[in-house]
Amino acid sequence: MTILGQLSLGLAMLFSLWGTVVGGMAGHTGRADLAKSASRSVIAQLAVLTIAAIALSVALVNRDFNVQYVYSYTSRDLPLVYTLAAFYGGQAGSLLFWAFVLSIFAAAAQWLTPPRYDRLMPYVSATTSAVVFFFVVAMLFSANPFDRLAFVPVDGNGLNPQLQNPGMAIHPPMLYLGYVSITIPFAFAVAALLSKQLDATWVHAIRKWTLLSWVFLSVGITLGMWWAYVELGWGGYWAWDPVENASFLPWLTMTAFLHSVMIQEKRGMLKKWNVVLVALSFLLSIFGTFITRSGIISSVHSFAQSNVGFVFLAFLIIASAFLVWLLWSRLPLLEPEGHLESMVSREASFLFNNLLFVGMAFAVLWGTLFPIISELVQGTQITVGPPFFNRVNTPIGLALLGLTGIGPLIAWRKASKKNLQRQFLIPTTLAALLGIALIVFRFGSFYAGVTLVLSVFVVAGILQEFYRGVGARHRLHGESYVLGLLRLFGRNRRRYGGYVVHLGIVTYFIGFVGLAFVNEVQTTLKPGDTATLKSPFGYEYTFTHMGVSNAKILNRYVSAASVRVTRDGEPAGIITSEKRQHFKCRVAVSPCPNGAEEFTFEPSTEAGIVGDIREDVYVVFAGVAEGTEDAVYRFTINPLVWWVWYGCVVLVIGGVIVMWPGGGPTRREGRRAVDGYGVRMIEEKPAMPA
Amino acid sequence: MNFELITGILVAGVLVAFILEPLLRASKGVSGPVEDDFVELEESDSPKIKALLALREIEFDLATGKLSDEDYASLKGKYSKLALQAIGEEKSEEERAEKAGAVSGENSACPSCGPRPETTALFCSDCGRMLTVADAPPRCWVCGAAVSEDAKFCGNCGHSVELKSRTPQPS
């Protein structure tokens, strides 16, 4: 199938080039036939990239080791699920995955965009085609997944052991979906700039795309956290690793955009800012792929390193230069239509949140790039560690959490002192009460305390919003409270779904509070020896070492150490942690030249984790004393980790509510309501303006 | 290998024809804006709808206690003024169009359904096509979505949009 794959890539290059050129011409001349041809080329790109993706999958599943990519990233004893995951485990495959996913989104944008945006579509075709073109060229000339070796190896190199984890099977595609789908809002922004149609049209067209990207990014990042937590074995889920940062950066700018775009829709303001945010998000998504793929900053994630990084760098520079020119030439058309009516309004709170998000993005970007900058300037790479990121981002994150609570309590347009008092009374009182209680009971961490106080403030504010919203519907429409709540969501999914997303964010923050109370001990235990550890919730855990067992399982040699755990003297189960050595070559499958078995010498850790909503007991088996069953353990109590995972679930539910089609009144109902309102107003006959 | 090559060439041929077909077949007309009448309210560019939505929001903010009576009064005054202005402009626009139609009699024929009995009609009462705009697209008579000139079925609801099916059948 690799010949078909090669042919498909060649065709994808031609079709994407056609789409770029003809789409641009169609946008410029307004010719319908060119526009249709460009749109069809986008669908043709999907067709050929699907064939290429199938061709690579078939080569992987058939273990065609003559294909260099298959040889490099799979082996005979690699389980099927990871063999398929190897599709995006290496350089060339992940580029194909990027291009393939982009072609799906690009074709979906062509199909699903209503005809009222037809003016923008030729340029949208051109932009998505240009990005596909770049990825296909990168593949064909720098990292081709269908390249063949001059010989047929007996077995492959196998997949990086750390990638052989269920979390890793779904984390990269989810993150890629987020990265890639940003291209669609970006394409509409470019289309709006090129066509000079810079009213709110393009913003309306991308509303759901933006949210979809954001949800995918959020889920992808959280799955990455989960993978790091269960697989890397260092006990945490976020280490400000360059690749983690690279995924976080577009998330920050997209979150800022999700808020600021509402100001453009409602007030015709922040037009330049919104275009810049979408363009930045796209460039940062490419930057994220560049960081992962170039290995420019040493990172546990930089599994694949090659010269493709330079291709990315060139694309980033060209795309940035093009965008700067485009923006500069359209600046006069991006003047605001209105102005802020009051600095105490929801608009103003969104402005602050945007500044904070972008400030945070800048801090993260600076910290991520600092090793490169220092190497360029001083010749030595100075790594910026978690303390820098935590020191800078914790206060900004808390300010943002505070704004999450403040924004929903202030009305659009303006607010008066009296009303602010009424709105803020209950949330502030509850938060203050908690604050006092934390001080009285000498809560251990300042930042954790502030996080909890702000979380209570936000949740109280949101619940108050729901309570008052339901009350208003009950009074205005005579609806029951249950129906009122349902209609509250149904009629304004964006606002109330958004509040659910905010609840998800608060849930994450509560999870982060646990980081201040991590308790751990490292010790060597003989069989029967015990170690004890106190948890922040006051429990005392006792770990009794039971022994170490060794076995060959699937494609690896496993050393498993088990401990019997008691909590306050009550049995709490047995926890097993594993150290895995994956076979490089194995007698039964593909013997090494000397006929022996060899390992990859890349040991991976499977942490043993047992927990509940309060805390996780996290056991890492670090090694065994040679020739004995004496095991080196690290026992960690990680409080509130589940809240991070639950936060993601709540966030997705909120995102789905916002995206659910048909939010607001139905067209007919809405029309009738608006017409009725209009008629009533005319009957009222207020003085017409002179 | 041969099979793969032949499949590849076939796929290439089909897709190239698919891409080039619009250039070879269709007229090279300029694509105009599609007047889609069925826009989500919040996506409407109409100043009237924008102002009315703002008023609706202000009413709800008052009901939930977010706006004080004074702020409500000042905002309501401002947006009512905008709404009335927009309604007034829209009305005079309609009157102008009506007059123009009545004088020229241009609205008396629908490109799809032929002569209309109502010379001042803004829309065709059979197919819903806008008569005041020369190149307005035909519409599905069931869901109102814009359809192409030669469409047999509506791309939105799937209903047949052929001329004969638009004619009401005797019950």
Q: What is the pLDDT of residues B135-155, one digit of tens each?
A: 667 776 666 677 777 777 777
Q: Please state, in angstroms and rounded to a whole number, the distance separating the CA atoms of residues A516 and A509.
A: 12
Q: Which residues of A touch B19 (CB under 8 A)?
A: 15, 18, 37, 40-41, 44
Task: Provide the pLDDT for residue A288.
Answer: 84
Task: Provide the pLDDT for residue B144.
Answer: 67
Q: Residue B19 and residue A18: Cβ atoms within 8 Å?
A: yes
Q: Which percentage of chain A shows pLDDT scores above 70?
A: 90
- Residue A233 contacts residue A636 (beta carbons within 8 Å): no
- What is the per-residue pLDDT across A479-525, written as a single tens digit (0 to 9) for each? 888 998 998 888 888 889 999 999 999 999 999 999 999 998 999 98
Give the confidence band of A200 by pLDDT, cuts at 50, 70, 90: confident
Beta strands (DSSP E) in A172-292 are: none
Helix (H) or strand (E) holding A548: strand A540-553
Can you list the alpha helix ranges (DSSP code H) found in A115-162? Answer: 121-141
Token reading at A454: 């702000």
Q: Please state, in angstroms and rounded to a whole number, the distance separating the CA atoms of residues A171 and A161.
A: 15
**DSSP state letters, A357-408:** HHHHHHHHHHHHHHHHHHHHHHSS-PPP-HHHHHHHHHHHHHHHHHHHHHGG
Nearest chain B residue to A409, by CA: B66
Interacting residues of A449 by C-beta distance below 8 A, sequence separation 6+: A435, A438, A439, A443
Task: Provide the pLDDT for residue A686.
Answer: 42
- What is the per-residue pLDDT across B87-142, written as a single tens digit (0 to 9) for each? 888 778 777 776 665 555 555 677 777 776 666 666 776 666 777 666 667 776 66
Residue A322 has pLDDT above 90, yes or no: yes
Residue A344 has pLDDT above 50, yes or no: yes
Between residues A432 and A663, the one the model is more confident about: A432
Predicted TM-score (pTM) of the model is 0.81
What mean pLDDT, rounded, does chain A reach?
Answer: 86
Q: Residue B22 and residue A114: Cβ atoms within 8 Å?
A: no
Task: Provide the pLDDT for residue A294.
Answer: 66
Q: Is B67 touching A (CB cutoff 8 A)?
A: yes
Q: Please state, in angstroms and rounded to a whole number, the distance separating the CA atoms of residues A196 and A399.
A: 37
Residue B58 has pLDDT above 90, yes or no: no
Q: Residue B84 and residue A422: Cβ atoms within 8 Å?
A: no
Q: How far is B54 from chain A (nearest CA, A)?
A: 8
Q: How far is A419 from chain B (nearest CA, A)?
A: 6
Q: Residue A681 and residue B34: Cβ atoms within 8 Å?
A: no
Please give the ipTM for the structure prediction. Answer: 0.75
Residue A639 has φ and ψ, to the nearest 5°, of -75, 150
Task: Provide the pLDDT for residue B141.
Answer: 65
Helix (H) or strand (E) holding A116: none
Tell me the β-bridge partners of A605: A579
Q: Which residues of A touch B31 (CB under 8 A)?
A: 30-32, 35, 118-119
Q: Residue A412 and residue B61: Cβ atoms within 8 Å?
A: yes
3-state secondary structure of A319: helix
Task: Provide the pLDDT for residue B102.
Answer: 53
Lowest-pLDDT choice from A191-195, A331-335, A668-672: A668-672
- What is the per-residue pLDDT across A229-277, written as a single tens digit (0 to 9) for each? 887 777 889 989 888 899 999 999 999 999 998 888 877 888 899 999 9
Interacting residues of A248 by C-beta distance below 8 A, sequence separation 6+: A221, A364
